[in-house]
Amino acid sequence: MLMISIIFILIYTWIVYPGTMFVLAKLRKNQPFTVSAKGSIHQSPSSLTIIIPAHNCETTIAKKILNCLSLRHSESSKIIVISDGSSDRTCDIVRQSTSNQVELIELKERSGKSHAQNVAIEQAVSDFILLTDVDSDLREDALEILFDAYMKYPRTGCVGGKISFNRPNLLQRLYWRFENGLRSAESIAGSLVSISGAAILMKREHFKLLDKDTGDDMVIPLDLKLDQGLRSIYTDTAIVNDQLASKSMDIFNSRRRITSRNCLAISRRKRLLNPLRFPLTSITLLSHKLLRWLTPIFGIILAVLVLTKIEWQPLPVAGIAVIVLFAYLFIPQVKVFLAETFGLIAGIADFIRGRTPTYY
């Protein structure tokens, strides 16, 4: 019975729920919901502040500033680089910028990305803010597409773009194609609960101070829905180039941190899990987030149940062990998969034990 239940949960999480969302997206009369470059209205924000949190980014900050200055309709925008306790040349490089659009805020002690964003936004005086990461590279038309999407649809709280990773392996490429398609469907349904922190456009008046121990990519959409009844939008034509971690330990630590802080973010907003008040949002949180995070644990339990029913012989066991070891050592996709899997498990364990990342 336990085995059947786990198989049903896995099928629901990875096939039934996504399939339902894709069908729902197709049935919506206002489809396509995501904004394309063709037919955009190409308005520009009346006033905009681009917020860039930075910690020891001397090798990338100059390129990031140039990238923001090159965006269409950014001519009158303000760019705030907020240094989160940097101890390298990050602040010196920002001061050397010849553009009067660039402003530096220097925090002497490191307090984390979310705190830095809070400080910067409190000092911004613009109507709109664009949150972006120092390692992300926005395509030239990304800002105007994000703003077009914001203006086109009512009750919009924030808009996020599509992340394009450099040199992903096959598994990563397949996963992100699936993930981006699902986010697009959830955006159409009005149940999107997370967008990439690499590019988030929103009105300053809608911003709520972020928790210091959680991130922006899930907290902002959840707070907009919970406090103001506003929806979050995903647009697949606002392209943001980003880097995937390549080392197994970096992948493990990143997934562990993300899972832990997102579990914490949901636990503080558990009212959104009430299907009577938030029917679609609660289903998305349960299906796209909570059950998916539990997939590795369900998979391990299922594997144990299967193995206990097999009569093992020494030679086959040794052969399987050699194959697994070879795959781990010589197939990069296997390393990435295992690092992601055990990072998820470690993140859930950290949340249960009350351990959260000091900085984000």
Q: Which domains does the chain have, with CATH numbers?
A: 48-250 (3.90.550.10), 273-353 (no CATH)
0.85 cut: is pTM over it? yes
pLDDT digits (tens, 9 = 90+) for 112-161: 999 999 999 999 999 999 999 999 999 999 999 999 999 988 889 999 99
pLDDT digits (tens, 9 = 90+) for 173-227: 888 899 999 999 999 988 999 999 899 999 999 999 998 888 899 999 999 999 9
CA distance 149 to 146: 5
> What's 354's DSSP letter?
T
CA distance 161 to 187: 12
**DSSP characters for 293-305?**
HTHHHHHHHHHHH
Residue whose tokens read 């703003």: 147
